[in-house]
Amino acid sequence: MSNESEADEAEQDAADESETEEETGFQNGDFIELAYTARTVEGGDLVDTTDADVAEEEGVGEDQEFEPRTIVLGEGHVFEAVEQDILGSEVGDTGTVTVPAAEAFGEFDDSQVRTVSADKIPEDDRYPGAHVDLEGEHGHVETIIGGRARVDFNHPLAGEDIEYDWEVLSEVEDREERAGALLAVFLDMDLDVWFETDTVEEEQLVESDEDDEDEDEESEPEYETVEVEKETLYIEATPQLTMNQQWMMGKQQIAQQLTNLLDVDRIIVQEELGGGMMGGMGGMMGGMGGMGGEDIEEALEDEDIDAEEIVEELEGAEE
């Protein structure tokens, strides 16, 4: 073997070894339970924490629950600098990383501090420090002099470098825990979830034998009904979910992310109504649809409804 070949082989071995080293520990796509506390570098002001004791010491969030978060690495659930610091780590590892202002809440922009007419601000908010929403922008009032107000539309933490202390508590492998954690990230609420493998009927295209086809004659595609198994994530609907703004505005995007991250075929949001079940998002409907004729008659009698009168009225309307 020539020296050149030996050198090439050694270089390849080194590259393979380097690649193997990079892939050890947690990687993108892994679900982990993470504890962290974030503070501003200048001043040490608390930005966020999962530690209830830290929150109590700081006197913040009396009505909030502080507990470790389940995140998916590579999905932007924490700042990228924090994710990069965690990659390759293992359960029990800790670290500290600084997120530059530009990658955190943005640099401070002087042009975002503007003078506006005080009349545009609700009367109850006309004082320094008040948080206001004006023409789709959120800001806080710096000063009010006469009929003019100075409003800062920068993020309150703009220009601040943020230091994160983190610890990986565990790897989350249970699928229901993963699903619940993702919904908590997307919607900031806890929901009951479960997985089932359902057998459903599906139309599939019948593959034709090209040798038997007449080249000059176009044939219509043929379909057949087959039974297939679908891995399904069920989410129990609640009034809180129905009214959740993030859910109402982005349910399709949330469903797509859940489908990809949890490797399921479909998602069904299911609501229980008076003993029946109503499904959504997966095209499932239950409840009355599963009742036989005698059951329906008994239900109508229980509600003191005359079925024959309804039929006669409908027939009269058709005439």
Q: Based on the fold, state whether residues 62 and 129 are members of the same structural domain.
A: no
Q: 169-223: per-residue pLDDT in tens?
A: 999 999 999 999 999 999 988 999 999 998 888 888 887 665 555 555 567 788 8
Residue 22 identity (one-letter amino acid):
E
Q: Based on the fold, state whether residues 30 and 165 are members of the same structural domain.
A: yes
DSSP string for residues in 55-72: HHHHT--TTS----EEEE
Q: Please list the residues that pair with 31 across neighbouring strands.
A: 72
Q: Based on the fold, state whether residues 122 and 141 are members of the same structural domain.
A: yes
What distance in Å separates the CA atoms of residue 76 and residue 177, rounded to the nearest whole number? 19
- SS3 of 306, please? coil
At 284, the pLDDT band (50, 70, 90 cuts) reads very low
Q: Based on the fold, state whether residues 127 and 80 are members of the same structural domain.
A: no
Q: Based on the fold, state whether residues 54 and 142 are members of the same structural domain.
A: no
157-177 average pLDDT score? 96
What residue numbers bound the domain in which 303 lies? 293-318
Q: 227-240: per-residue pLDDT in tens?
A: 889 999 999 999 89
Q: Based on the fold, state whether residues 307 and 264 are members of the same structural domain.
A: no
pLDDT of residue 291: 45
Residue 227 maps to a domain: yes
Provide the residue count of the chain: 319
Q: Based on the fold, state whether residues 186 and 310 are members of the same structural domain.
A: no
Q: Based on the fold, state whether residues 65 and 141 are members of the same structural domain.
A: no
Q: Based on the fold, state whether residues 121 and 255 are members of the same structural domain.
A: no
Query: The domain that contains 57 carries what CATH number?
Result: 3.10.50.40
Q: Based on the fold, state whether residues 36 and 95 are members of the same structural domain.
A: yes
Closest by CA to 93, choosing from 9, 176, 33, 169, is 169
pLDDT of residue 307: 55
Q: Based on the fold, state whether residues 166 and 192 are members of the same structural domain.
A: no
Residue 4 maps to a domain: no
Tell how strand 223-236 and strand 266-273 pair up.
parallel
Q: Based on the fold, state whether residues 77 and 91 are members of the same structural domain.
A: yes
Q: Please list the residues that pair with 280 across neighbouring strands.
A: 269
Higher pLDDT, 216 or 25: 25
What total number of domains does the chain contain?
Answer: 4
Closest by CA to 180, choosing from 31, 30, 27, 26, is 31
Q: How many CB atoms lie within 10 A of CB 83?
A: 19
DSSP string for residues in 26-46: --TT-EEEEEEEEEETTT--E
Query: The domain that contains 139 carries what CATH number?
Result: 2.40.10
